[in-house]
Amino acid sequence: MNASVPHFIRSDERRESVSKLVRSNTGEFWTHMKRRADLSSLEPYLPFEGVLAGDPHLGNFSVMPVKAVGGARKMRFVDIDFDDAGRGPFVLDFVRYLIASKSIRKQIKKRPLEKSYLAGLAGKALKPPKSVRDLLAMPVSQYDEMAAQYAEHHSSTSGFILKKNGIEPYKGKIARSTIERLFAGETIIDVARRPEVSGGSEGQLRIWILISDGQSRRIMELKQYAKPTIAGYRPQPPVPQWLKEVRRAFWPGLDGSAYDLVKIPGAGLFWRREKHVSLIDVPYSSGKGRNIAFVEALAAYDANVLGLAHGRQPQARRYRAEIEKDPDAFHDAINPVVKAYLALARKNLRDK
């Protein structure tokens, strides 16, 4: 394969899109940025590093109930996927975000996203779009009812409703008794397996646990930990330190037990988290006017949230100062990197 061409992993879906290809190839992005991409235009910004989202895109920020340390659960807009987070240059995290956003729709303008991102770097939180504000105002009890309905939809009185390539019988090496010990005090109705998928989660075991509190059900997930793909760009710290840094950057002041890593003897590390109800449905392929407007508003807000996470870190002030010397130069420096990567993704689709 030509060294300048990324090695994109294709999904099995008939209808591939540039957006899906980009979102499912996070590891390829970081390897490409390290080994093949021309980053010469970004040299003024690359020295400033911190903890990155690693895979920032519209589907990885959402509203969910999260408990503040020592407080009650509240609806918050947060990064919901730490799998590929880690240390690296702030600017490449933003480049990744722009690529993911532009892959949805060419018409999405970069400058509004840059403006929102810079506001976040300066510590200015922008007003969420109305649809997000409505979700933030949702009572946690209403969300819990939706989660219970989701669990009921996927289960019967005896356990999970099984379906090939959907929810399948669990026949893994980890004993059910071992799994049950991770949920001490809970009533476990059933254990099942979710099939391995292509893309970023390929090869990672995912176990679903159906739990009841006597009145309602919910689904918990154990997802096998894998080294974050950003490690393809630079080495990451040991896992306990890595997780501490990621939480501090993206979940400041929040109780991390809702999205935790547990060590299972003989099997390694697994993410333990509730199977959340997706409250924001990103219309990746819709051309309707209202959906386009929603994507544009959400993209700008997500850029601000990413900027806030970057901005609360030690090297962010000097990074922001470098950008603010000449915001147009920052735009011009990012533009060729974004365009070049998207062109390679589109070429990959045409060639396949």
Residue 124: C-alpha distances to residues 6, 79, 91, 136 (Å): 36, 18, 18, 19
* Within-domain flag for 294: yes
Helices (H), strands (E): how many in the chain?
Answer: 11, 10
Q: Residue 106's pLDDT is what?
A: 81
Q: Residue 15's pLDDT is what?
A: 40
pLDDT at 85 over 60: yes
pLDDT tens-place string over residues 6-37 = 566 655 443 458 999 999 999 999 999 999 99
| Domain of residue 315, residue span | 18-137+282-351
* Within-domain flag for 96: yes
Query: 203 pLDDT band (50/70/90 cuts)?
Result: low
* Within-domain flag for 45: yes
- Stretch 81-101: mean pLDDT: 97
* Within-domain flag for 320: yes
Nearest to 84 by CA among 200, 203, 249: 200
* Within-domain flag for 248: no
pLDDT at 199 over 60: no
pLDDT tens-place string over residues 249-277 = 999 999 998 889 999 999 999 999 999 99
Total domains in the fold of the chain: 1
* Within-domain flag for 292: yes
* Within-domain flag for 83: yes
Lowest mean pLDDT among 50-64, 83-97, 204-218: 204-218
259's CB contacts (< 8 A; 6+ apart) are: 80, 82, 251, 271, 273
Residue 73 contacts residue 52 (beta carbons within 8 Å): no
* Within-domain flag for 288: yes
**Which of 336 and 12 is assigned the larger pLDDT?**
336
Q: Residue 83's pLDDT is what?
A: 94
